[in-house]
Amino acid sequence: MSMDIAVDGLVFTYPSGVTALGGITVSVPAGQRLAIVGQNGAGKTTLVRHFNGIFQPTEGTVRIGDWDTKGRDIAELAARVGYVFQNPDEQLFARSIRDEVGFGPKNLGVPADEIEARVTAALARSGLVGMEDTHPYHLSLSERKRVALASVLAMETPIVVLDEPTTGQDARGVALIGEVVAELAAEGRTVVAITHDMDFCAENFDRVLVMADGRVIADGTPAEAFSRLDALEDAHVEPPQLERLRTELGWAEPVMSVDEFVGQLKTRA
């Protein structure tokens, strides 16, 4: 079964009365790498928290594969959607990294020897080789964020949601997360990532949703989305650095990566 995400007419109002999502309709096919960008408070986190059932729609529907999230609880949806929190301290709770990263697979009923293998593999992918016995408390924020990532990778869900994965990561950490995104997509899994890092977004995703005030105001490939200067302005987002540079140079074709930039430069040499 194909694990598409289908959001239809989604409205969400917090108990406080704030309507954070004003009617969102979007489909994400399985295997896509989707980035969500937009100003603080645009509704990005509120949107993705509907995918794993933390929130239920006030109006509209959210479907994960053949399931309507309405009537499914977080534990059920956890088998389909892994969600890495923006703030790892909302997610982490165990006293060792092994327990933390092994918790999800254990809950899914994975046998003990396979849990061990999954923990090792997830830590390797997250740049935390051999840290099984470390207490998360002794880690930096960037490391705790990668433990949160590892604990979701170990669940091997068809859909992985990353809420601002590169925040606080150094260049190596950012590159590592880009590799994880590429590997997941190569395995046919869907990656939805919220990010404020437009360079990371341009280089690592197939599609970009631009959000402002609880709505999607642009949707397309990175080249398409980053050409929508009107929408970017409304969302308080600047195009990636290379894209701004090529605009200043007066080149017609969008540039999303260093490779593309060098390619265009060579055609002009």
Ligand X SMILES: Nc1ncnc2c1ncn2[C@@H]1O[C@H](COP(=O)(O)OP(=O)(O)OP(=O)(O)O)[C@@H](O)[C@H]1O
What residues line the site for Mg ion (CB under 5 A)?
45
Beginning with the edge strand found earlier in the chain, give each strand of the sheet holding 215-220 in spatial order: 81-84, 159-163, 190-194, 33-38, 207-212, 215-220
DSSP letters, 203-249, are: HH-SEEEEEETTEEEEEE-HHHHTT-HHHHHHTT-PPPHHHHHHHHT
Position 138: which residue type? H
Say whether residue 169 binds ligand X (CB under 6 A).
Answer: no
Partners of 216 in beta bridges: 211
Q: Which residue, judged by CB position, is nearest to Mg ion in the bound state?
A: 45
d(CA 28, CA 34): 8
Stretch of 41-49, 150-158, 232-240, 259-267 lying at the interface with ligand X (CB under 6 A): 41-49
Query: At closest approach, how far in Å is the CB of 194 from Mg ion?
Result: 6
Longest dimension (CA), the chain: 60
Say whether residue 195 binds ligand X (CB under 6 A).
Answer: no
Residue 8 phi/psi, 5° resolution?
-130, 115
> What's the chain's Rg over C-alpha atoms?
19
Query: At closest approach, how far in Å is the CB of 17 from ligand X?
Result: 8
Query: At closest approach, how far in Å is the CB of 161 from ligand X?
Result: 12
Stretch of 44-52, 126-134, 139-147, 240-248 lying at the interface with ligand X (CB under 6 A): 44-52
Residue 82 phi/psi, 5° resolution?
-95, 135
Contact in structure between 162 and 192 (CB atoms under 8 Å)? yes
Among ligand X, Mg ion, none, what binds residue 41 when CB lies within 5 to 8 Å by partner kind? ligand X
Say whether residue 44 binds ligand X (CB under 6 A).
Answer: yes
Which is closer to ligand X, CB of 38 or CB of 173? 38
Which is closer to ligand X, CB of 20 or CB of 148? 20
Which is closer to ligand X, CB of 214 or CB of 254? 214
Say whether residue 50 binds ligand X (CB under 6 A).
Answer: no
What's the number of CA atoms in the CB half-sphere (13 Å) around residue 154?
34
Query: At closest approach, how far in Å is the CB of 46 from ligand X?
Result: 3
Size of the site for ligand X (CB under 6 A): 12
Stretch of 11-19, 99-107, 152-160, 246-254 lying at the interface with ligand X (CB under 6 A): 11-19
Query: At closest approach, how far in Å is the CB of 40 from Mg ion?
Result: 8
Scanning residues 20 to 39, which ones bind ligand X (CB under 6 A)? Answer: 20, 38
